[in-house]
Amino acid sequence: MTPLVFFLILTSASVHVGWNALGKRSNDKVAFALGTLLVSTLLLAPVFVIRRLASPGVWTGEALLCVVVSGLFEALYFALLFSAYQHVDLSVAYPLSRGVAPVFALIAGGLLLQDWIGPAEGVAIATILLGVGAVSLSAGQKGTRRGLMFALATGAMIAGYHVVDRRAMTLPQRPDFYEFLFLNRVFIVIFLSLILALRSGGVYKRLVAECRRAPRTVVAVGLMTPLAYFLILLALTRSNVTYVSAGRNIGIVLSTLVGKIALQEKVSRGRWAGVFLILAGIAALVFLGAH
């Protein structure tokens, strides 16, 4: 992982933790996610139209398949993540979901994309995972087991869209960044709306109610989510999918600080120890990538 890739990941993680903290405070969390995605889709629509008119990107059948599958994985990611937040703290669900993602990404990326890693990088990633384990095992609250299951499933979805996005961004005829970002949002909205309808119905009423309750927050997160995603797309053009997925665990450090300072969550010594291991592992990845 080069310093540039780490900078992209760090910036993305900072934005990502920010919108997760805002989302944790929402009432109807999945409706909130849908509202923010609609905002980001509407904001990106003019950019998409201008790009298609001025210098349209090349879209192959595989690229179109990638954006659809990526949208499905991300819709499931949002639904599972916010389900986890209903049972456990941000500083528990966020670390576990982010922490297990590199394991799934390593297996899927290696088998499907031949994105294997070296022994030294493997040790660094193992250190990160030890830290994630320490953070997760330090959780001692009611409802944790169910919340952790949702968080584990969220991690699998993260790895899924990382691998698919990595494939899209390394195609011989790569789709345009902005076009991919917009169409990705469109398919997330479609799939997340279906998930909401299947789970409880009343999608429109729930969406309107949540947007009326906190309109500024919905708009703010609607701006933050595509920015965080765009930075990761850039990182995936320059680095192995497992490195990017592991590097994003810097967000665990940030989420622990936000959970402690902004949300008044309790952070144990074990969780702080896990944070230190995560930082050490990421620092090793950056060092190895720079030499």
pLDDT tens digits, residue range 227-272?
A: 888 888 888 888 777 677 777 777 777 777 776 777 676 777 777 8
% of the chain surpassing 70 pLDDT: 87
For residue 161, give Cα distances in angstroms to 71, 85, 115, 226, 233. Answer: 8, 21, 15, 14, 11
**pLDDT the model gives residue 60:** 93
Least confident of 7-21, 40-54, 142-156: 142-156
Find out whether 190 and 68 touch, Cβ atoms under 8 Å. no
Q: Mean pLDDT throughout 79-96?
A: 77
Higher pLDDT, 66 or 272: 66
CA terminus-to-terminus distance, the chain? 10
Backbone angles phi, psi at 170, to 5 degrees: -120, 15
Find out whether 19 and 228 touch, Cβ atoms under 8 Å. yes
Higher pLDDT, 185 or 118: 185
Higher pLDDT, 222 or 135: 222
| pLDDT above 80 (res 215) | yes
Find out whether 97 and 139 touch, Cβ atoms under 8 Å. no
Contacts of 89 (CB under 8 A, 6+ apart): 139, 141, 259, 263, 265
Q: Mean pLDDT throughout 64-82?
A: 92
Least confident of 21-30, 109-118, 248-257, 277-286: 109-118
**pLDDT the model gives residue 102:** 73
Least confident of 14-23, 151-160, 168-177: 14-23
Rounded CA-CA distance 210/232 in Å is 28
Both tokens of residue 95?
């670390």
Per mean pLDDT, which of 24-38, 66-80, 88-102 is the most reliable? 66-80
CA dihedral sign of residues 204, 206, 208, 211: negative
Contacts of 283 (CB under 8 A, 6+ apart): none
**pLDDT the model gives residue 42:** 93
Which of the four pLDDT bands, split at 50, 70 and 90, describes residue 109?
Answer: low
pTM above 0.95, yes or no: no
The residue among 102, 92, 130, 99 whose CA lies nearest residue 276 is: 130
| pLDDT above 70 (res 1) | no
264, burial (CB in 10 Å: exposed 0-12, middle 13-18, buried 19+): exposed
Residue 118, amino acid = G
**pLDDT the model gives residue 186:** 95
Which of the four pLDDT bands, split at 50, 70 and 90, describes residue 291?
Answer: very low
Contacts of 182 (CB under 8 A, 6+ apart): 41, 44, 45, 47, 48
Least confident of 100-114, 135-149, 186-200: 135-149
Write down the residue that tokens 């969406």 correspond to.
207
